[in-house]
Amino acid sequence: MKIKKLTAGSCKLLLQNLNGNFEELKSNYLSHDRDFQSLTLGMGVIDQGSYNIDEKFEGYDGRINLKMDNSGIHDFENAKIIFEAFEGLTPIDANDERLWVRLTHDHCHKYMVERWMKGKEERTLKNIIERFFLTGSGQQARVRNGIARLWWIAYLTVQQSEQDEDDKWRYTKVICESQDFITSILERTMGTYPNVRFGVLDFYIENKAAFENAKSKKIQQILRDLNNYGGVTLLPLLSKEDVKSICAKLLPIRIEE
């Protein structure tokens, strides 16, 4: 399967149309059926620089075969699929809205509806834009886009040097255990530092029992406080072990030795 990026003009037109005719076009983003026609039908695409996707990732009618859910339970599997399907994609290419907007509006549209829109008819224009488009160039934009986020989750956690599959994807699987990890680590500048994100995830792996109660609240609090800690010290200069030690001090309950 060959996937072509949209032109910048096509991305702009899709967004303009949605902004100008939201009530009329809203249903295109909230539903999907087997007779679905691409929302990019007839729009300009870039002939050069297309992506050839292995047939093992191809579902019916030109769709990428992602696992469907509306809670994030399959984020780990889907992050692996997108990362492996787009083998060789660089971080520069992965900041290109022309690819992700094509995928959300076409090859991954059904997944987008199931994951982010199904049963949520109250979705606002802002909700749809942040999931189907890539507005801005910061960490938050790429983690909010429904497909770009999967690639970035895998890229920022996969251990390519590991031969064992479990070791290779250990951090990816762990970060997908909680949406709080994904948003609180990857949407912040501190998440761009390997020592920080792997230090936090290692700390969680080694102290899972301490997170059994109020897991979400504890994750949010630790990462919020760690981010604030970065205001008085240079996080990039810390070792992974330093980060783990800081997390131990920030955890709302005492960790037994």
Residues whose CB falls within 8 Å of the CB of residue 191, separated by 6 or more in sequence, listed in order: 139, 156, 185, 197
In a 3-state reduction of DSSP, which class is residue 51?
strand
- pLDDT of the chain, 257 residues: tens digit per residue: 899 999 999 999 999 999 999 999 999 999 887 677 889 999 999 988 789 999 999 987 788 999 998 889 999 999 999 999 999 899 999 999 999 999 999 999 999 999 999 876 678 999 999 999 998 767 889 999 999 999 999 999 999 999 999 999 999 999 999 999 999 999 988 889 999 999 999 999 999 988 888 888 899 999 999 988 877 788 889 999 999 999 999 887 554 44
C-alpha span between 119 and 30 (Å, rounded) = 8
C-alpha span between 39 and 105 (Å, rounded) = 5
What pLDDT score does 257 carry? 40
C-alpha span between 19 and 132 (Å, rounded) = 13
What pLDDT score does 133 carry? 97
In a 3-state reduction of DSSP, which class is residue 239?
coil
In a 3-state reduction of DSSP, which class is residue 93?
helix
> Which 8-state DSSP code applies to residue 210?
G
What pLDDT score does 256 carry? 46
Whether this model's pTM surpasses 0.85: yes
Backbone φ and ψ of 47, nearest 5°: -70, -35
Reference 179, options 70, 48, 96, 62; nearest CA is: 70
> Which 8-state DSSP code applies to residue 6?
B
Please tell me the total number of residues recorded for the chain in this structure: 257
**Residue type at 257?**
E
Q: Give buried/exposed letters for 156-169 (b at 16+ CB in 10 A, else e).
A: bbbeeeeeeeeebb
C-alpha span between 12 and 191 (Å, rounded) = 29
Long-range contacts of the stretch 59-62 (C-beta < 8 A, 24+): 60/34, 61/34, 61/36, 62/1, 62/106, 62/107
Residues whose CB falls within 8 Å of the CB of residue 142, separated by 6 or more in sequence, listed in order: 94, 95, 134, 148, 149, 152
Residues whose CB falls within 8 Å of the CB of residue 254, separated by 6 or more in sequence, listed in order: none
